[in-house]
Amino acid sequence: MPTFYTLVVEYKYLNSINSPKDLKSLSVDELPTLCDELRDFIIQELSHNPGHLGSSLGTIELTVALHYVFDTPYDKLVWDVGHQAYAHKIITGRRERFHTNRQFKGLAPFPTPAESEYDAFIAGHASNSISAALGIEVAGELLQTASLKDRCAGRSGDSDIPAVPERNDKRLPYVVAIIGDGAMTGGLAFEGLNNTSMDKNNLLIVLNDNNMAIDPIHGGFTQYLVNLTTSSCYNRVRWNLYQLAVKMHLINERKTDSLRRFSNNLKSILTKQPSNIFQGLDLRYFGPANGHDVQGLVRILNEIKNHRGPKVLHIITTKGKGYAPAEQNQTVWHAPGEFNVETGARSKDNGQKTDSSNDCPPLWQEVFGETLLELAKEDPRVVGVTPAMPSGCSMTIMQNEIPERVFDVGIAEGHAVTFSAGLAKEGVIPYCNIYSSFLQRAYDNIIHDVALPKLHVVLCIDRAGIVGNDGATHHGLLDLAYLRPVPNMTIAAPMVAEDLRQMMRLAKDFDGPIAIRYPRGRVPSLVESLKLKVERSLEVEKLKVGKGRCLHKEGKVAVISLGAIGCVVEEAISTINFKLLNETATLNSKLSTLNFIAHWNMLWLKPIDTEILDYVGTHFERVVTVEDGEISGGLGSAVLEYFADKGYTPHVTRLGIKDSFVEHGSTKELYHMLHLDKEGICESLLQELEM
Ligand SMILES: Cc1ncc(C[n+]2csc(CCOP(=O)(O)OP(=O)(O)O)c2C)c(N)n1
């Protein structure tokens, strides 16, 4: 095996950097060595504690320069997505806990003010940084004025009106949004840019351009950035002209907006280039600069930080910088899972740790990807739509064979849904795949553009339920609750792989909006499910829209589950049966029919199978609903509503996530914490049996 990487044997600086203050004690000449050490530290740590490697390696120099130039946490850094902020965490006092990054009870996966005062705003979902940073910037200004007024008026603490928090009135905080070119493709980022340009503010936006999202980026804006970067002559001339103009006092910081506009226009005229998009929006544009030259970045940031008005610094970086395998295959090394540092060999399961052996079952996303390709081959109307997650959802399987019918629309969930609606309006059948938590971004698009006109869009909702180490921002716990009230919406949740295949098939010939939600990770193997005494063979069962599955009809308690968590219920039931049979002294043939707990998996939340609910409502005194989502609004609510409408009065216990944001950890740890693993469900069911 070739050796890709040689370890840094001893750190000269990193071990004594416990805050940005320590960083500032270094000279600018020492910063490149510190960057090498940070890079080494991140590579070493992530090799055995997986995380977002490529993006964080790409922003090391930028991070060091930002903390060197700005006075954090008084000055605010707002990271977009936050997957690139590992060096930021390490510099801001979290080095010694970094080995717990993303782990249960360990450091959070993304920046969050709940964890550190250096994390100026929550991160996780792309494209929010500009809007949030602008809000923070404007608040700084408002509070400064208000606090000064307060003090001038001599307002006392006794006043009914709350005093405005005291500000450092020497200067306002600098606010910096750091956003990738991928995240810049999101509509929200453009909304933020537009408002930034309109508002009186001094926001600095650092555009980290590595020409990648998780997958290569397509689309006009990216091409635009490439053109902007490659027209190096234009940029060099423009930068020189700008500096000349400053020297000649043609551009003066105290002069007004119109001068800024004039200077942009002047630059454009002199360089015979139209002003770029940022300048067109009245934002000052600096760059493109080499994002791996830490000394250069320090110089530029120092030069531009006091320029009044909103500004953009465009830097060029390489995703995975400094680690050859990560530079060479940037998509895979976005989040590579565990790996061997020296050889670059990755452990097989790509971060989705399971007790996997070679013949482990497929991932849910692979079942989606393969079925989509099958359907696309059969029917030319079938297309795939993804907002920048083709490999994450395995749409790459179709993309490799029929690229012209796969649309990667950028990190733009709302657009993905409305674009799909447009396709559907004309008779194309879009399978629009979006992770559950990201689909939250597209709520109105679903309601207004798909559900209301009743368009045949197939929403495939990946990563529904607990997703694990990505934590609170990424768990898909709300989709059932937010989709169920939407009129015209049909909602399916497969229990096993075969269900997903059939549901995708049914969805093709369906009329109207249909959502199919399934979890992250590996499908429960069919063989395993069958071993768990499933009454009918799932392989031959033909699904029908709105028809649930009976797994055990008899019992003292009835369980109604939805989707894949039904397999965990099955395991719990078989454990209970085994336990109770062993404990029952008077074991007889009657008991061997294992009739302690009845179980139905609904498969469809909407329309819900009322035949099952009528039967359960009239035959059982105790009912337990089980879902891997927020219980208010989801399956449990649907069952209770139906029972109330019909006057059925069994006691209903709802298992699910109860009005909380769930932290990060492995899915195993989290389901255990939530009492939604086999043990937790067993415990709840045993309690029900004792009632
Ligand atoms: C709303 C939303 N959609 C999708 C994602 C998944 N996602 C995480 S990082 C990423 C790519 C970001 O690309 P870029 O901003 O260029 O940063 P880079 O990783 O290239 O440094 C995507 C699509 C997300 N975090 N949020």
Asked if residue 289 and residue 257 are part of one domain, the reply reads: no
538 lies in a domain? no
| Domain boundary residue, one of 240, 256, 272 | 272
Q: Give ligand 1 pocket residues (Cβ under 6 A).
A: 55, 58, 81, 83-84, 125-126, 180-183, 210, 212-214, 319, 388, 411, 413, 438, 441
Order the strands of the 382-386 sheet from edge to edge.
406-408, 382-386, 429-435, 458-462, 514-517, 490-492, 604-606
What span, in angstroms and rounded, lies between the C-alpha atoms of 446 and 436? 13
348 lies in a domain? no
Asked if residue 286 and residue 137 are part of one domain, the reply reads: yes
Report how far apart the first and last C-alpha atoms of the chain are (Å, whole number).
62
Q: How far is the CA of 12 from the centre of ligand 1 (A)?
A: 33
Q: Which atom of ligand 1 is nearest to the CA of 441?
A: 1
Other CB atoms within 10 Å distance of the CB of residue 194: 12
Asked if residue 164 and residue 205 are part of one domain, the reply reads: yes
642 lies in a domain? yes
User: What is 621-666 written as a DSSP string?
Assistant: SEEEEEEEEESTTSHHHHHHHHHHHHT---EEEEEEE-SS----S-
Q: Taking Cα atoms as reference points, which of 91, 76, 148 lies closest to residue 305?
A: 76
Q: Is the pLDDT of residue 91 over 70?
A: yes
Token couple for 51? 């995380």
Q: What angle do CA 312, 315, 318 make, to 5 degrees?
A: 150
Peptide bond into 361 cis (omega under 30): no
Asked if residue 394 and residue 467 are part of one domain, the reply reads: yes
What span, in angstroms and rounded, lies between the C-alpha atoms of 110 and 91? 15
For residue 425, give every residue at least 6 positions away whose Cβ sits within 8 Å of its Cβ, in sequence order, or none: 453, 455
Predicted confidence (pLDDT) per residue in 396-436, tens digit? 999 999 999 999 999 999 999 999 999 999 999 999 999 99
What average pLDDT score do residues 149-155 get? 62
Q: How far is the CA of 351 from the centre of ligand 1 (A)?
A: 17
Q: How far is the CA of 96 from the centre of ligand 1 (A)?
A: 27
Q: Which atom of ligand 1 is nearest to the CA of 209?
A: 16
Peptide bond into 362 cis (omega under 30): no
What average pLDDT score do residues 204-223 get? 85
Query: Residue 403: its pLDDT value, please?
Result: 97
Query: Residue 279: its pLDDT value, please?
Result: 83
For residue 258, give every residue at least 6 positions away whose Cβ sits within 8 Å of its Cβ, in sequence order, or none: none
Query: Residue 540: its pLDDT value, please?
Result: 53
Q: Taking Cα atoms as reference points, which of 605, 607, 568, 613 lies closest to residue 466?
A: 568
What span, in angstroms and rounded, lies between the C-alpha atoms of 384 and 407? 6
- Domain span at residue 651 reads 548-690
Catalytic residue among 39, 311, 319, 520: 319
Residue 413 a catalytic site member: yes
Asked if residue 554 and residue 510 are part of one domain, the reply reads: no
CA atoms within 13 A on the CB side of 19: 7
52 lies in a domain? yes
Catalytic residue among 267, 284, 321, 441: 441
For residue 476, list its beta bridge partners: 465
Query: Residue 256: its pLDDT value, please?
Result: 44
Asked if residue 266 and residue 300 are part of one domain, the reply reads: no
Instruction: Give the percent of the chain with pLDDT over 90.
Output: 73
In Å, how far from its chain's centre is CA 128? 12
346 lies in a domain? no
Which CATH number is 373's domain given?
A: 3.40.50.970
Token couple for 500? 């997903």
389 lies in a domain? yes
Q: Find the range with the poorest average confidence among 25-29, 331-335, 371-375, 652-656.
A: 331-335
DSSP SS3 for 218: coil
Residue type, position 348, single letter? K
For residue 622, list its beta bridge partners: 557, 651
Instruction: Count the domains in the chain.
Output: 4
User: What is 151-201 written as a DSSP string?
Assistant: HHHT--TTSSSPPPPP--TTSPPPEEEEEETTGGGSHHHHHHHHHHHHS--
Asked if residue 198 and residue 58 are part of one domain, the reply reads: yes
Asked if residue 512 and residue 559 are part of one domain, the reply reads: no
User: Using N-to-C axis directions, what is the helix angle for 678-690 and 565-583, rounded to 10°?
Assistant: 50
Judged on CB neighbours under 10 Å (0-12, 13-18, 19+), 3 is exposed
Query: Residue 263: its pLDDT value, please?
Result: 54
524 lies in a domain? no
Asked if residue 24 and residue 162 are part of one domain, the reply reads: yes
Query: Residue 670: its pLDDT value, please?
Result: 98
Asked if residue 294 and residue 268 are part of one domain, the reply reads: no
8 Å CB contact between 434 and 442: yes
Query: Residue 349: its pLDDT value, please?
Result: 57
Residue 441 a catalytic site member: yes
What span, in angstroms and rounded, lies between the C-alpha atoms of 53 and 57? 6
Phi, psi of 561 (to 5 degrees): -115, 170
Q: Which residue, by CA, sits nearest to atom 12 of ligand 1? A: 213
What span, in angstroms and rounded, lies between the C-alpha atoms of 177 and 201? 13
Q: Find the range with the poorest average confidence among 110-124, 245-259, 301-315.
A: 245-259
For residue 35, give every residue at least 6 positions away whose Cβ sits within 8 Å of its Cβ, in sequence order, or none: 60, 61, 64, 294
Q: How far is the CA of 218 from the centre of ligand 1 (A)?
A: 14
Band of residue 558 on the pLDDT scale cut at 50, 70, 90 = very high
Sign of the Cα pseudo-torsion (93, 97, 98, 104, in order)? negative
Q: Is the pLDDT of residue 294 over 60?
A: yes
User: What is 240-303 written as a DSSP string?
Assistant: HHHHHHHHTTSS-TTS-HHHHHHHHHHHHHHHT----HHHHTT-EEEEEEETT-HHHHHHHHHH
Catalytic residue among 37, 45, 137, 413: 413
Q: Is the pLDDT of residue 228 over 70?
A: no
Q: Which atom of ligand 1 is nearest to the CA of 125?
A: 26
Q: Taking Cα atoms as reference points, which of 424, 420, 371, 415 lies closest to residue 394?
A: 371
381 lies in a domain? yes
8 Å CB contact between 581 and 533: no
8 Å CB contact between 64 and 35: yes
Q: How far is the CA of 18 from the centre of ligand 1 (A)?
A: 29
Predicted confidence (pLDDT) per residue in 93-137, tens digit? 999 999 999 999 999 999 999 999 999 999 999 999 999 999 999
Query: Residue 650: its pLDDT value, please?
Result: 98
Asked if residue 150 and residue 264 are part of one domain, the reply reads: no
Asked if residue 218 and residue 90 are part of one domain, the reply reads: yes
What span, in angstroms and rounded, lies between the C-alpha atoms of 129 and 193? 10
User: Using N-to-C axis directions, what is the helix angle for 294-304 and 31-48, rounded to 10°?
Assistant: 110
